[in-house]
Amino acid sequence: MIDANSKTNRFLEAIEKYAEEQRSEMQAEIEAFREEQLKAANEEGTAAAFEFIQAQKSEFKAALAKETALKETRMKRELFEKRSEMAQSVYDEAEKRLCDFTATNKYREYIATSARLISEKLGGRKVTVSMMERDKELEPLIRGIFPDCTVRFDDSIRIGGISCSCGELSIVIDDTLDTKLEDRKRLFVETSGLVVE
């Protein structure tokens, strides 16, 4: 009976050992499978996360570029408006000073000098002299320099000065303060660097 027990025990031990080996193999396979699945899931998750991050990054870049462009446009517009206001303020001040100048004796001298220079250029030919109504008191001075002239009062001259046209030569010499100021404005805009790009 001992032999039978001993055989049974050895058989049971062999079964137990075999079962333990099978269990260990199964655990190793399960662990390998689990590792493989984790690795695959990790790789898949990393790829998905990378794609998600790239998509978010692209969206962020696009939104940032749009916001930057809008801000830049707004800032350029504000800068242009500020520069325009500054330039207009300078022009308004210059126009005011020119208007103040027309109320001085130096203005009378300025008109006389301007008329003499124009008369020399035109060689004493018949001219039409345009001036503003406010300068009517200077008409005798003009007629003294241009003996053969027609004087007309022009509402488009707002600041002062004279403009002469000679039909014989088909030319107009505009020496009004209005035109000089406009020429200065154009020169200022062209050379000031205040153009917004």
pLDDT per position as a tens digit, 14-38: 777 777 888 888 888 888 888 888 8
HSE of 75, CA atoms in CB hemisphere, 13 A: 7
pLDDT band at 132 (very low <50, low <70, confident <90, very high): very high
Q: Which two tokens stand for residue 25?
A: 């193999």
pLDDT in tens, 149-177: 999 999 999 999 999 999 999 999 999 99
DSSP per position, 70-129 = HHHHHHHHHHHHHHHHHHHHHHHHHHHHHHHHTTSHHHHHHHHHHHHHHHHHHTT--EEE
pLDDT in tens, 68-102: 888 888 888 887 788 777 778 888 888 899 889 99
Query: Across the strands, what pairs with 113?
Result: none
